[in-house]
């Protein structure tokens, strides 16, 4: 048995302890029997250390013979320098080893169901099912440590700028914030439900009414949305921020920018593309890039060429304009040689899946033009296309012709895919921008009615007077998003803190005062008692972390992720519950 008069020494600290007797503890990483000696690589969270067991110590040698990978052991022995010809330069402790005096097996291990340290990585499903094993890998350990460092930096910045950290309730009320709620039935109030908060939105605004000048929280949020590569299912984390006596979103933007720049430059050690973070209006982003979250690491822009085709003989383009649509072009510079006909067909299929009728193109290669549509275009039209799109030899132009919103969306997808295919997205560069001036309302095509563009809590630009217009889709909100390398990482707004404006905002889409009082009674009532102007935002921590670590899937950056179907394979959830539990909650299932 190991004697414990010595405290445990971490493997990384053994380098400076040559000649000293220490106790190390960890997992058997590998074991090699060289006949006369047994060598064991011991692993703890700080590194690897070679142990040497000799037959001269029969008890230890016998225990060493029975050790297997991932056994947990405690070892006492003396650190010594390795012989020069036995030094292992691949590990930090490669110049030393521990000569074993005593070994104690703290726990055994069965053969592992997943590969941890071999070249063949196990599938995501298997890794997530045995996540507690997958966390032992160096990669997973580094992610956990880096995430803790990220939290420390965020908290330090917020504390240093006089923000107060406040935790808000998890059991809350349901509110329309753009996604489905997770509902929690109440046992003591049968037939009623709590909702897990999609964000602390109402609570943080009530804190401003309560006199807190600056609030922040690393908040757990819940949304019942389908998972994606950049969106976790169920619970996720926000750096949630709110500031009192703010009438302009620019104040929030300027307050938070230094934190994000610091994370890029000093935390992630990446290049920041723009020293001065640009502000781009929502409409400009849609018109120029086809999306409200453009990847600005590459400067491909959509060009409106509608003016060329208003009287064209090419009926596809002409009819699109006649029906109130547009014709736009996207010039992929120097891309002609990179695109085969089959690749162009793939882009066309993608465009049609987005709702387009097709995807016209023109290639200029060896100073000759190639395209199925050339025969429909006049020389003057071709010349004007070349001028407006800056067409040069080696370029490939894609065209979209239809309703403006559809063309923007389709060419935005084409632009993003081209960024990948042409390798224009430098993983070591971070391009950040603020998207501002979002529409307060949008048209809900499915329900054929006006709806909120984001959420109902944003202040309309121009105040209550702006709501008097007949064209409600023209009303802008003092709302802003931060985008990073093609992802939305932050959303915020100046808040609507006047009850009469709140009622008017909802009235425009058909909700009367009673609905507002029922859904947001606490907040509306609070606004009647001297609510200060306030504004804030929320940064998606998981998504930021994913981008800064160059991970392709957001599930890799959390300790215990659910899979792509929203299932926790490790804990087997969601799962059925007992009838007695349903009875306690006054519920029954109908499946």
- My answer on whether 48 and 153 are in the same domain is no
Note the pLDDT of residue 453.
85
CA distance 204 to 240: 9
- My answer on whether 261 and 172 are in the same domain is yes
- pLDDT tens sequence for the chain (591 residues): 445 578 999 999 999 999 999 999 999 999 999 878 999 999 999 999 999 999 999 999 999 999 999 999 999 999 999 999 999 999 999 999 999 999 999 999 999 999 998 877 899 999 999 999 999 999 999 999 999 999 999 999 999 999 999 999 999 987 665 678 999 999 999 999 999 999 999 999 999 999 999 999 999 999 999 889 999 999 999 999 999 999 999 999 999 999 999 999 999 999 999 999 999 999 999 999 999 999 999 999 999 999 999 889 899 999 999 999 999 999 999 999 889 889 999 999 999 999 999 999 999 999 999 999 999 999 999 999 999 999 999 999 999 999 999 999 999 999 999 999 999 999 999 999 999 999 999 988 888 888 888 878 899 999 899 898 989 999 999 999 999 999 999 999 999 999 999 999 998 888 899 988 888 888 899 999 999 999 999 999 999 999 999 999 999 999 999 999 999 999 999 999 999 999 999 999 887
Buried b (16+ CB within 10 A) or exposed e, 135-173: bbbeebeebeebbeebeeebeebbeeeebeebebebebe
pTM of the model: 0.92
Is residue 241, in this structure, part of any structural domain at all?
A: yes
Q: Are 290 and 296 in contact (CB under 8 A)?
A: no
- My answer on whether 323 and 404 are in the same domain is yes
Note the pLDDT of residue 176.
60
Note the pLDDT of residue 177.
59
- My answer on whether 317 and 419 are in the same domain is yes
The residue with tokens 């781009």 is 280
Is residue 368, in this structure, part of any structural domain at all?
A: yes
Domain containing residue 538: CATH number: 3.30.930.10
- My answer on whether 163 and 252 are in the same domain is yes
CA distance 467 to 474: 10
Note the pLDDT of residue 454.
80
Is residue 569, in this structure, part of any structural domain at all?
A: no
- My answer on whether 270 and 156 are in the same domain is yes
Note the pLDDT of residue 178.
64
- My answer on whether 453 and 546 are in the same domain is yes
Measured torsion, CA atoms of residues 186, 188, 191, 193, in degrees rounded to the nearest 10: -20
Is residue 128, in this structure, part of any structural domain at all?
A: no
Is residue 572, in this structure, part of any structural domain at all?
A: no
- My answer on whether 440 and 549 are in the same domain is yes
- My answer on whether 89 and 201 are in the same domain is no
- My answer on whether 152 and 199 are in the same domain is yes
Is residue 227, in this structure, part of any structural domain at all?
A: yes
- My answer on whether 236 and 337 are in the same domain is no
Domain that holds residue 303: 298-423
Is residue 541, in this structure, part of any structural domain at all?
A: yes
**Number of domains, the chain:** 3
Note the pLDDT of residue 190.
93
Angle at 439 between CA 436 and CA 441, to 5 degrees: 150
Domain containing residue 357: CATH number: 3.30.1360.30
Is residue 587, in this structure, part of any structural domain at all?
A: no
Domain containing residue 29: CATH number: 2.40.50.140
- My answer on whether 100 and 192 are in the same domain is no
Tally Cβ neighbours within 10 Å of residue 19: 8
Instruction: Summarize pLDDT for 232-291 with one digit per residue, the tens.
Output: 999 999 999 999 999 999 999 999 999 999 999 999 999 999 999 999 999 999 999 999
Sign of the C-alpha dihedral computed for residues 145, 151, 153 and 155 taken in this order: negative
């Amino acid at each position: 048995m190991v004697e414990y008069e010595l405290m445990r020494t971490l493997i990384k600290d053994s380098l400076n302890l040559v000649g000293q007797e220490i106790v190390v503890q960890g997992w058997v990483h590998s074991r090699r029997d060289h006949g006369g000696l047994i060598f064991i690589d011991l692993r703890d969270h700080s590194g690897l250390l070679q142990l040497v067991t000799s037959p001269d110590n029969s008890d230890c040698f016998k225990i060493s013979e029975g050790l297997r990978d991932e056994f947990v052991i405690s070892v006492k022995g003396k650190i010594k320098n390795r012989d020069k010809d036995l030094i292992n330069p691949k590990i930090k402790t490669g110049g030393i080893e521990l000569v074993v005096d005593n070994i104690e097996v703290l726990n055994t291990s069965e053969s592992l169901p997943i590969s941890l340290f071999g070249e063949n990585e196990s599938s995501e499903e298997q890794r997530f099912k045995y996540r507690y094993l997958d966390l032992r890998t160096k990669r997973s350990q580094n992610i956990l440590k880096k995430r803790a460092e990220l939290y420390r930096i965020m908290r330090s910045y917020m504390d240093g700028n006089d923000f107060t950290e406040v935790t808000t309730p998890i059991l809350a009320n349901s509110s329309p914030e753009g996604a489905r709620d997770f509902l929690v039935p109440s046992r003591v109030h049968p037939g009623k439900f709590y909702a897990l908060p999609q964000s602390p939105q109402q609570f943080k605004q009530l804190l401003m009414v309560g006199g807190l000048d600056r609030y922040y929280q690393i908040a757990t949020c819940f949304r019942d949305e389908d998972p994606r590569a950049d969106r976790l299912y169920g619970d996720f984390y926000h750096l949630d921020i709110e500031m009192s006596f703010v009438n302009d979103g620019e104040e929030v933007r300027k307050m938070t920018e230094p934190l994000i720049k610091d994370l890029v430059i000093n935390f992630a050690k990446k290049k920041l593309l723009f020293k001065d973070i640009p502000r781009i209006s929502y409409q400009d982003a849609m018109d120029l890039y086809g999306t409200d979250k453009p990847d600005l690491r590459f400067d491909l822009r959509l060009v409106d060429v509608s003016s060329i085709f208003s009287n064209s003989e090419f009926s596809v383009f002409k009819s699109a304009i006649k029906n109130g649509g547009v014709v736009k072009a996207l010039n992929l510079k120097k891309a002609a040689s990179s695109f085969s006909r089959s690749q162009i067909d793939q882009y066309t299929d993608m465009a049609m899946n987005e709702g387009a009728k097709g995807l016209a193109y023109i290639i200029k290669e060896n100073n000759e033009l190639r395209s199925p549509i050339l025969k429909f275009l006049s020389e003057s039209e071709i010349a004007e296309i070349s001028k407006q799109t800056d067409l040069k030899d080696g370029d490939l132009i894609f065209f979209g012709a239809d309703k403006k919103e559809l063309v923007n969306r389709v060419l935005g997808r084409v632009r993003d895919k081209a960024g990948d295919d042409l390798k224009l997205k430098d993983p070591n560069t971070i391009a950040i921008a603020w998207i501002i001036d979002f529409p307060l309302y949008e048209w809900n095509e499915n329900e054929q009615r006006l709806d909120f563009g984001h959420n109902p809590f944003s202040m309309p630009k121009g105040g209550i007077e702006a709501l008097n217009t007949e064209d409600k889709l023209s009303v802008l909100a003092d709302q802003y998003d931060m985008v990073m390398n093609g992802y939305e990482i932050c959303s915020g707004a100046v808040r609507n803190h006047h009850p009469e404006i709140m009622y008017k905002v909802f009235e425009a889409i058909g909700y009367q005062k009673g609905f507002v009082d029922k859904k947001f009674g606490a907040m509306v009532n609070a606004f009647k008692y001297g609510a200060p102007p306030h504004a804030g935002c929320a940064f998606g921590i998981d998504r930021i972390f994913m981008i800064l670590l160059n991970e392709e899937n957001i599930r890799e950056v959390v300790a215990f992720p659910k899979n792509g179907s929203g299932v926790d394979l490790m804990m087997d959830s969601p799962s059925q519950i007992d009838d007695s539990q349903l009875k306690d909650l006054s519920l029954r299932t109908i499946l």
